[in-house]
Structure 1
Amino acid sequence: MDFDQILYASIKACQLGRKVLLDYFGELKNVEDKFHAGLVSEADKESERVIKNYLLEKFPGTFFLGEETFFSNKEDKPSQQGKWICDPLDGTTNYVHQFPIFCISLAFEWQNQVQVGVIDVPMLHETYTAVRGQGAFVNGKPIHVNKNTDFSKSLLATGFFPDDKRELEEQLHYFGSIVGDCRGVRRAGAAAYDLCQVARGVFDGFWEKNLSPWDVAAGQILVEEAGGVVRTYKNEVHTPYSRSLVAGNSTIVDGILKRFVTVKTSR
């Protein structure tokens, strides 16, 4: 498999999705509320349609796992020719309210491992790319995770899942255990974008739970290729199908997980 060819096709597909998102920005007519899955608009659906059609025409033997397609048919399956994992609009709530932090996340999985990741941030004119073993880049320039090991000087990021009250309560306890020990915690509202900022060294670390494969697949390879680590809340190896994620350099990730243990033992 030629992963450079996959990368170029991924970038082109994201450019097609970017045009859709910019065309619809501020012009939405139909916004729906998916059960326990956030908002969806005509921009999400059209972005996924053009990305999917382009990729499957170019690589007809591959399987496409997209957020909006999966919400409709619940179909996911392996493919010997590889699998695309796509969020056509990560940060839909931001997009609907015209807050300019949203992105397209696209990954290519081959033999049960993500090999290529692209995240396009339309309003910032940034395209993050990674091919396994070749490093991570933004607009062609190499990026690296922050080397800071002092937790008190770290800038972190997280997200919340308000639809499950028990999970939200747990997340707030985790947040409380961390926010006083670091320099600050940000919530941008798009996990793929947060992982880009970890890979770039802007955020020292990021944690969140109840994420889906399309939220994290591209971001995980970006962080790993930028020199970082990605683990679960149980300090296990993370895959795109894990339900919890902690990312950053190894020292900051250990610091976050240590505070999670403290919360669990104190409750």
Structure 2
Amino acid sequence: MSLDPTLVFELALLGLGSGFLAGLLGIGGGMLMVPFITYLMSARGVAPDLAVKMAIATSMATIMFTSIASVRAHHRRGAVRWDIVRRLAPGIVLGSMLGSLGVFALLKGSSLAIFFGLFVGFSATQMFLDKKPAPTRQMPGTAGQLAAGGFIGFLSGLVGAGGGFISVPFMTWCNVAMHNAVATSAALGFPIAVANVVGYVASGTRVAGLPAGSLGYVWLPALGVIALCSVFTAPLGARAAHGLPVKKLKRVFASILYLLAAYMLWKGLTTR
């Protein structure tokens, strides 16, 4: 599969859009990238089952770059809760390795696509309902946050996202302010991405039918183009996040997730 000018242009647009979303919503851009990379690879002859897996892995790899760009912008505004990052990160690394090295390699791409769609749809519904947490609820203790981090990392490894679609609702449910939750989620994207990419590379090394330029399940040409473009727009998204009201931010988040969940459900059901 050659990296023709049209594909480069499409990947560049995807990088610009996903970078902006990474900063705006703290979701690492994975919710946007996975459906589009799946489409682009399938349209160029990659087997549907493999296209889903490579889209998930490549999406996660780009988050290593977008998370750094967006978290710097959030940190300058003092929005990142580093105390939460320190408690969630160890569990995130363990959960990510379990998901990307073990379960991901065993599941079919169509099953991963369906799981992606269902879970993202559920996350979007929770955001749209905008349920108010009990005013006395707080983040759990160290053990509770270790367990929560493991859950976030594991699910992120299965769907190729930076964990914001789980960590943002979780933190707001624990009465962390929405803007702090988005910023903290952006910071969590880096350990999630690194741990998962190690797993994707190791589990995909001996897979047959990988296109040229692949490192395990990660497609390096797409990673290069998307990462290069996304680092320019991630700070713009972070700046916009601090200028929007909380409810509008949640609705934007949910609307995007519904659209992408629907596409991935369709993809999973039609490639079985």
Q: Which has the higher strand share?
A: 1
Normalised TM-score (structure 1) = 0.27
Normalised TM-score (structure 2) = 0.26
Work out which structure has the larger RCO, using CA pairs closer than 8 Å and 6 or more positions apart in sequence: 2
Q: Which has the higher helix share?
A: 2
